[in-house]
A and B are shown apart, each in its own frame.
Chain A
Amino acid sequence: MSKRSLFAAALLCAAAYVFIYATGRANPPIRSDGYSYYVYLPAWFIYHDPSLASVARDCCGGEFPAFTAIIRWPGTGRWVNAHPIGVAVMQSPFFLAADGLSRWSNLSADGFTLYYQHAAGIAGGFWAIAGLAMMRRLLLRHFSDRVTAATLMALLCGTGLLHYATYDSSYSHAYSFFLLAALLNVTEDWWTEPTHRRAALVGLVAGLMVLTRHTNLLLLLVVPLYGWGQLRSLRKTGTTAARWRGTLTAVGVAALVVLPQLAIYKAATGRWMVSSYGDLGFNFASPHLWGVLFSVQKGVFFWSPLLLFAVAGFWLGRDTTRAFAVAALPVFAADAYLIASWWDWQFGGSYGHRGFIDLLPLFAIGLAGFFAWCAERPLRLVLAGTATTLLVALSLFQMLQYWNGVMPISDLTWAQYKSLFLRWQ
Chain B
Amino acid sequence: MTRSRWIATAVTIVTAVSILAYLRDPVWLAGVESGFHAWRTGPDGVRARWTTGHASFFVPAASARLAIPVRLTFDQPSDPPVLVRIAVDDRPADEFELRDDRWVTRRLVLPPPGSRRLRRIDIRVDRLRAGNRGIQLGEIVLAAQ
Contacts and interface: CB of A to CB of B under 8 A. Distances in A.
Interface of A: 57-63, 65, 101, 104-108, 110, 112-114
B128 A107 contact: no
Contact of A104 (B23, B54, B89): B23
B138 interface: no
Given A105-B23, A106-B120, A63 B34 contact: no
Q: Which 10 A-B pairs have the closest CB atoms?
A: A61-B128, A108-B56, A61-B127, A60-B53, A61-B53, A65-B132, A113-B34, A59-B53, A105-B23, A61-B125
B118 interface: yes
A216 to B, nearest CB: 30
B122 A61 contact: no
B128 A63 contact: yes
A105 B125 contact: no
B29 A107 contact: yes
Contacts of A63: 127-128
A108 B56 CA distance: 7
17 contacts: A58-B124, A59-B52, A60-B52, A60-B53, A60-B128, A61-B53, A61-B127, A61-B128, A62-B126, A62-B127, A63-B127, A101-B23, A105-B24, A106-B120, A108-B122, A112-B34, A112-B54
Interface string B18-36: 0010011110010010110
A59 B29 contact: no
A214 to B, nearest CB: 27
Contacts of B56: 107-108, 110, 113
A110 B128 CA distance: 18
B134 A61 contact: yes
Contacts of B23: 101, 104-105
A77 B54 CA distance: 23
B124 A104 contact: no
A101 B32 CA distance: 14
A371 to B, nearest CB: 36
B12 to A, nearest CB: 15
B116 interface: yes
A12 to B, nearest CB: 24
Contact of A114 (B34, B126, B127): B34
Chain B: interface size category: 20 to 34
A247 B127 CA distance: 50
Contacts of A65: 128, 132
Interface in B30-65: 32, 34-35, 52-54, 56
A107 B32 contact: yes
Contacts of B126: 57, 61-62
The winner among A63, A107, A108, A112 for most chain B CB atoms within 10 A is A108
Interface in B69-85: 82
A107 to B, nearest CB: 7
A104 B20 contact: yes
B142 to A, nearest CB: 18
Interface in B111-145: 116, 118, 120, 122, 124-128, 132, 134
Contacts of A114: 32, 34
Contacts of B29: 105-107
A113 B36 CA distance: 11
Contacts of B118: 106
Given A58-B53, A61-B134, A113-B34, A105 B128 contact: no
A108 B82 CA distance: 22
B120 A110 contact: no
A110 B124 CA distance: 11
Nearest to A63: B128
A60 B125 CA distance: 8
Contacts of A110: 54, 56
A376 to B, nearest CB: 43
Given A58-B53, A105-B23, 8 more contacts: A58-B54, A60-B52, A61-B134, A63-B127, A106-B29, A106-B116, A108-B56, A113-B32
The winner among B25, B53, B120, B128 for most chain A CB atoms within 10 A is B53
A107 B125 CA distance: 19
A219 to B, nearest CB: 35
A110 B35 CA distance: 11
A64 to B, nearest CB: 10
B43 to A, nearest CB: 25
A114 B134 CA distance: 20
